[in-house]
Each structure stands twice: as C-alpha cells, then as structure tokens.
C-alpha cells in the first residue's frame, strides 16, 4: 500500500498531502521536510526511485510540481509511476489543462478527485472515465449556493493562457518531454 502521497512545488511548498496511516503532526512535518530535501536534490535525468528508511520512494516531476509517494516493500514501483500519471490525467480531465495554480486554488477538489481514485493506500478505480463521472454527479448534489465571484487575474476552470502567467506552465503538455519518459 501507499503510505503517503505528497505534492510540492520546486520551491518546496506543499500543495497536497495525503497520509494513509496515522501519523503525528510532528512526524508529518519531518517526513515532508525530508522528502522535499531528498527529491529536490535529485539531478534532472535520474532514476525516479529512492530508498528511505524502510520505504521505497517514487517521485515524478510534472512541470513545476513534484509528486512523491512512499511505498511498502511489496509494492511495484513501476506501477506506482503509472498511478501518479493516472492521477495527473484525472486532474487534467477535470480542470482542463491543469497547472499548479489550479491545484493551489482548488485544493479541496484535488482531494475529492484523489479520494475517488485511491483509498487506504490502494487503487480504488482503474477506469479512466469512472472518476470523472463520479465527480460530476457529486457536484450536482451540491446545493445551489452562489459561486464566489471569479477573482480578477486568476482563472476559474478554464484554460490558462500562457501569456498571463508564464511561469505556471501547463503540466500536461510537458508530459511528452519530461524526464525522458515517453507516454502515449
């Protein structure tokens, strides 16, 4: 099973944390710090697998975000790379060309998507479409409350024009060239 899943930026700021075992706040902070240090120190074209304490660490960089998770001994590291990729795909489908800002401003949605995909450290749903369908249906259940007025200069669920905030690059478009791995 996965022990934890962390998302952090290239500056080491945490964007999402999911813990699949009970961990004290202090221990959480320690793990986050160590993961951030270890992963950010890795040179660009290195192996995506690390060893830390008794866990295997798998990390992958998508544009400006690092996705990092801790596995137990029995788990398949290559499959976990696929898990991370699937999560990014799900985010991309939901937000439409997702980038880091989406995850910052809509972190609770990122959690909801994650909870439809993983549970208890295991994969919950292997179908690409089922998660998206579940999210849509859940949204319809939400009571109609006036949505917050879209704040100026940030974006809502639409596509982010690259000219506005050039440093937040679209995560998905970088997938094709990232880290030397080739995807579909």
Partner 1 sequence: MSPSVRLQEMIRVIRGARTQGEERGVIQRECAAIRAQFRQADNGTRSHNLAKLLYVHMLGYPAHFGQMECVRLIASPRYNEKRVGYLGAMMLLDEKQDASLLITNSIKNDLSHSSQYVQSLALCTLGCMGSAEMCRDLAPEIDRLLRASNSYIKKKAALCAVHIVRKVPELGELFTPASRSLLSEKNHGVLHGAVVLITELCERNPETLEQFRKAVPELVQIMKGLVMSGYSPEHNVAGISDPFLQVRILRLLRILGRNNETASDAVNDLLAQVATNTDSSKTAGSAVLYETVLTVMDIKSESGLRVLAVNILGRFLLNNDRNIRYISMTSLQKIVQTDHNAVQRHRGTIVDCLKDQDASVKRRALELSLALVSAVNIRSLMKELLLFLSSCPPELRAHTTSGIFNAAERYAPSQRWHIDTILHVLTTAGGDVRDETVPNLIQLITTATELHCYTVHKLYRALIADISVQSLVQVACWCIGEYGDLLLRGECEETEPVQVAEDDVLDALETVLQSHMSSPATRGFALTATMKLSTRITHNVDRIRSIVSIYGSCIDVELQQRAVEYNALFKKYDHMRAAVLERMPVIDKSSPGHTNGESAGGSIKEMEPTKRTQEVVLPQEPANQVCDLLDLLGGSGEPPQPSPALSTTMLGPVSSTAGGDLLDLLGGLDVTPVPPSVIVYEKNGVTLKLQTDRQTDTGMTITLTATNSTDREITSLTLQAAVPKSVQLQMKAPSGDVIPAHGLGQVTQTVLLNNPNKVSLKMRVRVCYTSQDFVCQDTVQIDSFPSPAW
Q: Under a CB-based contact definition with an 8 Å cutoff, are residues 145 and 75 in contact?
A: no
Nearer to partner 1, 53 or 78 (CB): 78
Tell me if 142 contacts partner 1 by CB under 8 A.
yes
State the greatest distance between any 2 C-alpha atoms of the chain, in Å, as a whole number: 48
Nearer to partner 1, 16 or 40 (CB): 16
For partner 1, which residue of 5, 81, 88, 175 counts as binding (CB under 8 A)? 81
How open is the CA angle 145-100-142, to the nearest 5 degrees? 20
Buried-state track 18-53, b at ≥16 Cβ within 10 A, e below 16: bbbeeeeeeeeeebbeebbeebbeeeeeeebebeee
Number of residues that bind partner 1 (CB under 8 A): 61
Task: Find the shortest distance in angstroms from Cβ 112 to partner 1.
Answer: 7
Tell me if 47 contacts partner 1 by CB under 8 A.
yes
Q: Which stretch binds partner 1 (CB under 8 A): 18-26, 61-69, 91-99, 160-168?
A: 18-26
Q: Is 180 left (phi over 0), alpha (psi -120 to 50) or beta?
A: left
Q: Which residues are within 8 A (CB) of 140 and not within 5 positions of it... i.e. 6 or more apart?
A: none
Contacts with partner 1, residue ranges (CB under 8 A)? 14-17, 20, 22-24, 29, 43, 45-51, 74, 76-79, 81-83, 85-86, 104-105, 107-108, 111-112, 115, 119-120, 122-130, 134, 137-138, 141-143, 145, 148-149, 151, 154, 180-184
């Amino acid at each position: 099973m996965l022990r934890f899943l962390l998302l952090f930026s290239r500056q080491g700021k945490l964007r999402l944390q999911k813990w699949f075992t009970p961990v004290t706040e202090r221990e959480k902070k320690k793990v986050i710090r160590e993961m951030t240090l270890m992963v950010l120190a890795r040179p660009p074209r290195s192996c995506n697998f690390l060893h830390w304490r008794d866990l295997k660490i798998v990390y992958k960089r998508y544009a400006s975000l690092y996705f990092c998770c801790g596995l137990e001994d029995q788990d398949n590291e290559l499959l976990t790379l696929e898990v991370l990729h699937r999560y990014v795909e799900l985010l991309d489908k939901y937000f439409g060309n997702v980038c880091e800002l989406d995850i910052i401003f809509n972190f609770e949605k990122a959690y909801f998507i994650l909870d439809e995909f993983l549970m208890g450290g295991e994969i919950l749903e292997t179908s690409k479409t089922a998660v998206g369908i579940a999210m849509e249906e859940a949204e319809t259940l939400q009571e109609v409350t006036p949505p917050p007025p879209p704040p100026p200069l940030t974006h809502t669920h639409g596509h982010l024009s690259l000219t506005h905030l050039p440093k937040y690059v679209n995560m998905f478009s970088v997938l094709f060239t990232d880290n030397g791995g080739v995807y579909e």
